[in-house]
Every structure is written in C-alpha cells, then in structure tokens.
Structure 1
C-alpha cells in the first residue's frame, strides 16, 4: 500500500506506554469514545510534530509507518493495541510518543444523527436568520457535550464557542459543509 497524504490521515491518539511483555502498546485516545481507533484494521504511526505546531508537515518529513492491528480493546480509559511486527516490550517502548493516525475512509459509518468531529471542521455555520456566523475551526469536548469553535479559519481567530447539542444544532449538511444553528450572531 502506498503512503497516503497527511491530509487523508486523522490523528486519533498517541502511544503513551508499552502494555505487558508481548509488545502491546497503550494508546491515549483523543476521544472519549474512540470507535474509529478500536475498529481500525491498520494504523499509521508517526513521530512528526503536530500539524497545529506551525510546522509544514509533508509525507517526506513524516516517515509514516503502517502497522496492521491484530487486536484493540479499551482498558482503563486507554486503548491497548497489538500491532503486527511488534512482539516484545522493548519494541513497544520504542513507539512511545508516536502519533496514531488512521485514514478517514477507514472510519466506520456514523449513525444518521452522529458525526465525526473531523467532518465538522471547515463547515460554514449559519443561524436560523441565515446570518453567516463563521467557519467551524475546531471541535472540543467539555465533559457534558461537544463544543464547536466558530471563527475565521485563515487567521484561526475564534469568535464564538457554541455547544454542539440538539437544542442549538438544527441541521448538519455535510454534503454542502453547512451547519444551521439556533444561535445569534451577537451572543
């Protein structure tokens, strides 16, 4: 398989430690529900700096390495993975700090009213009065629900933080990259 573009890969977690003696790795997932990470048949590992660190990352700089996933399971808030070719603790420890990336097209299909946060980034946000609020530039979780950061994508300036809850989010149209919110522009 050829190395994909970094734009096609989504970072889902990072290797935090070796787990056990047989080469399993403990992955700290970026999501509280790491469905895509648990269901992945293959992952890419990289030690390159994060995209938001101001470094222009390319495939050449990335030195991505693909591993087939033998199994993955949740354990104490982490994902424990067994990767093909990693068979002892020393090999697993050598991967500590590596970013775990998965091809977006390998994610399982989301339910009809569920969304992968990565798909929301870049959507334009409008309110019920059809006023342009900005572009979704980030999505985070505050413990109770998701929060979308709306602002100017070119300058990464956040204008508003909006709760991603059904009372506020009226419609998500991923095909047209548009989210309609019950939200005022001056809130």
Structure 2
C-alpha cells in the first residue's frame, strides 16, 4: 500500500502514553464520541522525530506508518489500542506523542441528520434569504452542542460563531457542500 499524504488522512487523536505491559497504547481522542477511532481496523501513526540541538522539525519530516488494530476499547476517557507489531511497553512508550490518523473513507456510515465535523469544514453557509455567511472554517464543541466558525477560509478569519443546533441549521447538503442556516450576517 502506498503511503498517503497527511492531507489525505484525518487526525483522530494522539498517543498519550503506554498502557500496561503488553504494548497497548493509551490514545487521547479528539472527539468525545470516538466511534471512527474505535471501529478502525487499521490506522496510521505520524511519528515526528525528536528535536535535536534546538532544530525545529517540519511536518514533511514526520514519518507515517500503518498499523493493524488488534483491539480498541474505551477506558476512563481514553481509547486503549493494541496494535500488531507493538508487543511490549518499551515499544508503546516510543510512540508517545504520535498523531493517530485514518483515511476518511473508512469512517462508519452516519445516521440521517448526523455528520462528521470534518465533512462540514469547507462547506459554504447561506441564510434563508440566500445571503452568503462564509465558509465553515472549523467546528468545536462547547459541551452542550457543536459550534461552527464561519468566515474566510483563505485567511482563516472567523466572522461568526453559529451554534450547530436544529433551530439554526435548516439543511446540510454535503454533496453540494452547502449549509442553510436560520441566521443573519450581523448577528
């Protein structure tokens, strides 16, 4: 299998530490409901070499390595994963800080009116009057619900924060990359 570009993969979490003596890793997921991470049969680890003598390391220097997942389960707010080829605590500790990435196409199918946040990024947002509100730059969780940041994707300038709730979100058309909101540009 060819090694994909970092742009072709979705980051789902990071290795926080080793777990136990058998080589499991403890992953800090980026989502409060890490269904894609728990269901992945294989994942990529992005290992960034350690800094030496104050020299910065670029993303291009990060190495990607594919691993088969033997087991993944939730444990105290983290995901504990057993990987093929990682059989002891020393190997697992060497992965500390690695980013966990998977291909978007292996995510489980969503229910109607459910969306992966990564799919919303880059969608154009309009209101019920057809006025442009900007593009979705990022999606965050405030604990009660998601919040989409709208603005200029080129400059990453956020113009508005809109709650991603059914009262504000009237329609999400992922094939056309368009979200219709009950929202005004000056709110």
Q: Which bin holds the TM-score, normalised by the shorter protein?
A: over 0.9
Q: Partner residue of 2:3?
A: 3
Between the aligned partners of 2:132 and 2:92, the Cα distance in structure 1 is: 48
Between the aligned partners of 2:174 and 2:62, the Cα distance in structure 1 is: 29
Q: Partner residue of 1:32?
A: 32
Q: Give the TM-score, by structure 2 length.
A: 0.93
Residues 39-48 or 130-139, more deviating: 39-48
Residues 1-10 or 111-120, more deviating: 1-10
Q: Partner residue of 1:90?
A: 90
Query: Residue by residue, what CA displacement relative to the aligned partner does 1:8-54 show, whole Å, maximum 9, x if unpaired?
Result: 100000000100000000000000000000000001001349xxxxx
User: Unaligned stretches of 5+ in structure 2?
Assistant: 50-56
Return the offset for 1:56. Answer: 7.2
Between the aligned partners of 1:158 and 1:33, the Cα distance in structure 2 is: 26
User: Unaligned stretches of 5+ in structure 1?
Assistant: 50-54
- Give the RMSD, CA atoms, in angstroms: 1.4
- Mapping of 1:35-184 within 5 angstroms? 35-48=35-48, 57-58=59-60, 61-184=61-184
Between the aligned partners of 2:58 and 2:114, the Cα distance in structure 1 is: 32
- How many residue pairs get matched? 180
Identify if the C-alpha distance between structure 1 residues 175 and 96 changes in structure 2 by more than 3 Å, giving closer, same or farther: same
- The structure 1 segments of at least 4 consecutive aligned residues displaced by more than 6 Å after TM superposition are none
Q: Partner residue of 1:52?
A: none
